[in-house]
Amino acid sequence: MILERLVLGPLGTNSYIFGSDKKVIIIDIGGDPDIIINTIEKLDVKPIAVVLTHGHYDHTLKVGKILRHFNIPLMFNKKEFDSGIFTHKKADKWLSEGDSIEVGTMTLVVLETPGHSPGALSYYSKDPTEYNGKNIDGIIFTGDLIFRRSIGRSDLRGGNPQVLFTSIKTKIMYNPEISDDFLICPGHMGMTSVGEERKSNMFRNYFL
């Protein structure tokens, strides 16, 4: 597995480079495109797409520069475009619940996880089995749905707290495909696990 987390832009957004076998996708662009470009060159990998968790500016800043530099497609949820959250560019491929993205030997499955924004998506894979010397059952990129010990905001345009809690509950905590030993890669702050958030998240009583 290839997994790099870059903390970029004015709000410290996590941008991820994920894949295997020299092929990667870039998940969210937080700004600082030169850092992304230089990291990909150092890794000696081939990006095949930019994939957005949602359309807020701190996750899409300078996305156009990355798309043009690598000549790759953009993928996100059409609900994010139709709601007006992100209208700078249409997706080359619209993503919705149950779609999959092949990246080398890794397969990411798309989950619709609204609440922070209407078209927010999460992406999970059961293919990774190890990270930093620790066994895992898989990985999930959650954008601003859930963070380490916290959750994403729901008071922005298009947000809804009850919808957000329902997304966390049904798509992560009680998803039969996702175990406590899944690595959570959130849109801000450090990585965590489903099990850790089940035990320690300050909002756990709302989604368990």
Residue 110 near residue 96 (C-beta atoms within 8 A): yes
- Report the relative pairing of strands 46-51 and 74-76 from DSSP bridges: parallel
Could you give all domains of the chain from N- to C-terminal order, each with its CATH number? Answer: 2-207 (3.60.15.10)
**3-state SS, residue 113:** coil
What was the pLDDT predicted at 208? 95
pLDDT at 134: 94
Cα 111 from Cα 82, distance rounded (Å) = 18
Q: What's at 159, amino acid-wise?
A: G
Residues of the chain with pLDDT under 70: none
Residue 179's pLDDT is: 98
Report the alpha-carbon distance of residue 157 to residue 69 in Å, rounded. 31
Backbone φ and ψ of 33, nearest 5°: -60, -30
